[in-house]
Structure 1
Amino acid sequence: MRRLLPHPLVSAGLFVLWLLLNRTVAPGPALVGLVVALLGGWSLALLDHARPRIRRPGLALRLLGWVLLDVARSNLAVLRVILQRDGDRRAGFVRIPLALRDPQALAVLACILTATPGSAWVEYDSEEGWLLLHVLDLEAEGGDWVRFVKERYEAPLMEIFG
């Protein structure tokens, strides 16, 4: 059974999504959806991904709370930047040196930084370990952003995935 459905939840989700997008449960679209769902589950199995090992689930929940709070604050800050139209505000890029090397933790960090309005993950150099971040409201040299990302996100992620 595991061979037919290596990722049953993914396949089920794809099947339901297919039916919702087609807005019908007629046999034709349902059969095509079943094929898409099976192919999606098999494709995911081919990626050969490792299961994440979360060492500190309590800290992970706390980090989730911080991220939600930061997203809300960031939305307000972006709104303020747009409405005020100050000449003092400027966008720019910040290069942040990271000690974080775990691919899954880096993926979570990328999601966090891109989901937060006003910032976007642009590039990551895995050999040298730096991240290029685009920021909508950049202060002086971006030192505050470097400290913020390292203390608020990188340090907890290193404990969670470390």
Structure 2
Amino acid sequence: MRRWFPSLLLSAALWALWLVLNESAGPGHLLLGLVIGLAVPVLVAPLKPAGGPLRKPLVLARLILTVGHDVVRSALEVAGGVLRSRRRPPRGGFATIPLDLRDPFGLAALSMITTVVPGTVWSELASDNRTLRLHVFDLPDEAEFVAFYKDRYERPLKEIFG
């Protein structure tokens, strides 16, 4: 059953989206939307990666809370930096972070965390996955930021993904 219908929720969402985008609930659109809704999840199922190992769910919960807190704090800091940019322009710059994390799922999570926190942009990951380059909105001290980033995000991800 799972082979032919890998995700009924996704199928229903695609079917509903088809009907909304076409602004029609005619029999042709109902049938075509149903075919698309059932076919797309089957066709893209091989592209879905296998789930990664998840260890230490309490560390994961703490990391989620930390990232949520940092998103709010960073958004306020970036807004303040923009508002006072005439008096004191932000010192944007690139930070090079040596990585100890090697797990591909952990690196993917680290990239999502970096993307969601305002003021940081994931710029480059070295081909050997040992060095990360970030652009930071206001970077007064690179060494301090690197220590903060590794302690706040990389260390918990290393615990979670091993």
TM range (shorter): 0.7 to 0.9
Distance, in Å, in 1 between the alignment partners of 2:152 and 2:136 is 16
User: Which structure 1 residue ranges, 5 or more long, are not aligned?
Assistant: none
Query: Retained in 2: the 8 A contact 1:91–1:136?
Result: yes
Instruction: Point out the more displaced range, 64-73 or 2-11.
Output: 2-11
| SS of structure 2 residue aligned to 1:93 | strand
**C-alpha spacing 1:132/1:2, structure 2 compared with 1 (3 Å):** same
User: Which structure 2 residue ranges, 5 or more long, are not aligned?
Assistant: none
Give the superposition deviation at 1:50: 2.0
Residue correspondence of structure 1 range 97-136 to structure 2 within 5 A? 97-127=98-128, 129-136=130-137
Query: Which residue number in structure 1 is paired with residue 78 of structure 2?
Result: 78
Give the superposition deviation at 1:20: 4.5
Query: Which residue number in structure 1 is paired with residue 65 of structure 2?
Result: 65
Distance, in Å, in 1 between the alignment partners of 2:161 and 2:136 is 26
Q: What amino acid is aligned across from residue 52 of structure 1 in structure 2? A: G
Identity fraction in percent: 45
Query: Which residue number in structure 2 is paired with residue 137 of structure 1?
Result: 138
| SS of structure 2 residue aligned to 1:152 | helix
Query: Retained in 2: the 8 A contact 1:94–1:133?
Result: yes
**C-alpha spacing 1:107/1:30, structure 2 compared with 1 (3 Å):** farther
Give the superposition deviation at 1:28: 3.4
Which of 1 and 2 has greater Rg?
Answer: 2
Query: Which residue number in structure 1 is paired with residue 41 of structure 2?
Result: 41
- C-alpha RMSD of matched pairs (Å): 2.1
Query: Which residue number in structure 2 is paired with residue 87 of structure 1?
Result: 88
Instruction: Point out the more displaced range, 31-40 or 123-132.
Output: 31-40
**C-alpha spacing 1:65/1:48, structure 2 compared with 1 (3 Å):** closer
| SS of structure 2 residue aligned to 1:45 | helix
Distance, in Å, in 2 between the alignment partners of 1:19 and 1:56 is 42
Give the superposition deviation at 1:89: 2.2
Distance, in Å, in 1 between the alignment partners of 2:113 and 2:129 is 21
Distance, in Å, in 2 between the alignment partners of 1:34 and 1:159 is 43
Distance, in Å, in 1 between the alignment partners of 2:159 and 2:14 is 33
Give the superposition deviation at 1:21: 4.4
